[in-house]
Amino acid sequence: MIPFLDLKAQYQSIKPEIDAAVSKILESSQFVLGEEVAAFESDFAAYCGTTHAVAVNSGTSALHLALLAAGVGPGDEVITIPFTFVATVSAICYTGATPVFVDVEQASLTMDPAQLEAAITPRTKAILPVHLYGQMADMDAILTVANRHGIPVVEDACQAHGAEYHGHRAGSLGVSGCFSFYPGKNLGAYGEGGIVVTSNDEHAKKIRMLRDWGQEKRYHHVLKGFNYRMDGMQGAILRVKLRYLEQWTEARRAHARQYNALLRGSRLETPQELAGRRHVYHIYAVRTGQRDQLQRLLQAEGVQTGLHYPIPVHLQEAHRDLGYHRGDFPQSEAAADQVLSLPMFPEMTPSRVEQVAVAARQETSVY
């Protein structure tokens, strides 16, 4: 069987360092925040090219606090895309604001900047593009529209650790950027985790207070805050793993190049890395009109695949109250019907990549 993801293989490759980091936390008893989390924050800010990073307990919490720091609240609107993981939209709802969708571009499945202007109203308080699958949205075009209206851009970089847009790292182009360290993400904790990066001093200060009960100092609650702190253990583990991230990202990119070459000329549409962008392939998704059939056939061959995502958020039952309908976002709806995520993780071997590609090619030739 070829798994979609193999977290154990990665742990085994760095076991002594991880075990030492965990043991250090157990000995110091700094179980929540503490020195290791603070050190990870500086390391991750440096990695992203921002002056601050504030570690929290999930990517969803990171998005929630970044939006609050941008001044988003009840009665406001935040523009995002429907072809994303539901957390992007949930975080907007947590603030009391209303999510407003624009469709994605066909080539990248990220926010279509051409549709942005028409979605802006006097209530628009933030724009939240998603760097889906590990490729950054068209930030120049998005920022041009946003700046013309004086609206802050918060990046959902939960799938895009180390991705770049014309040499700028994900998270460094908007007023803030939000990352998830859910175990399956490109940089994964051994539990839940997230972080906001920003070079805005005010936003950093506010997010730092909000994650820890709105305290300025102990028991002095300046803001109505949350318990969104990162565990000491996760900070220590992530600090070790961050040192390997570039190596792991290059391995993902090599697998993607190999998939692309082996699938060239087949009936499968392979992902495009657009000019000026560094795709980090959190997800390697191909497209086909016979998606469900291909998934079944690959499963029968022992190849695990994933669907990211089968239903766009505007058609989810939980968000019916937003009033959208099928047909509103044709690119997102087509993608939801056609994308299939192939196995992709750094520890995959070239022979496994070949096995998957050959199987996928064979199955699609029989339609």
**Residues within the interface to ligand PLP (CB under 6 A):** 58-60, 84-85, 87-88, 130, 156, 158-159, 180, 182, 194
CB of 159 to ligand PLP, least distance (A): 5
Nearest residue (CB) to ligand PLP, 297 versus 329: 329
Nearest residue (CB) to ligand PLP, 65 versus 268: 65
Nearest residue (CB) to ligand PLP, 88 versus 364: 88
Nearest residue (CB) to ligand PLP, 90 versus 215: 90
CB of 13 to ligand PLP, least distance (A): 23
Report the alpha-carbon distance of residue 90 to residue 335 in Å, rounded.
21
Nearest residue (CB) to ligand PLP, 81 versus 297: 81
Nearest residue (CB) to ligand PLP, 120 versus 158: 158
Nearest residue (CB) to ligand PLP, 262 versus 315: 315
CB of 58 to ligand PLP, least distance (A): 4
Residue nearest to ligand PLP (CB): 59
CB of 148 to ligand PLP, least distance (A): 26
Nearest residue (CB) to ligand PLP, 34 versus 194: 194
CB of 8 to ligand PLP, least distance (A): 20
CB of 283 to ligand PLP, least distance (A): 9
CB of 293 to ligand PLP, least distance (A): 26
Report the alpha-carbon distance of residue 159 to residue 146 in Å, rounded.
22
CB of 290 to ligand PLP, least distance (A): 26
CB of 88 to ligand PLP, least distance (A): 5
Nearest residue (CB) to ligand PLP, 171 versus 194: 194
3-state SS track over the chain: CECCCCHHHHHHHCHHHHHHHHHHHHHHCCCECCHHHHHHHHHHHHHHCCCEEEEECCHHHHHHHHHHHCCCCCCCEEEECCCCCCHHHHHHHHCCCEEEECCECCCCCCECHHHHHHHCCCCEEEECCECHHHCCCCHHHHHHHHHHHCCCEEEECCCCCCCEECCEECCCCCCEEEEECCCCCCCCCCCCCEEEEECCHHHHHHHHHHCECCEEECCEECCCCCECECEHHHHHHHHHHHCCHHHHHHHHHHHHHHHHHHHCCCCCECCCCCCCEECCCCCEEEECCCHHHHHHHHHHCCECCECCCCCCHHHCHHHHHHCCCCCCCHHHHHHHHHEEEECCCCCCCHHHHHHHHHHHHHHHHCC
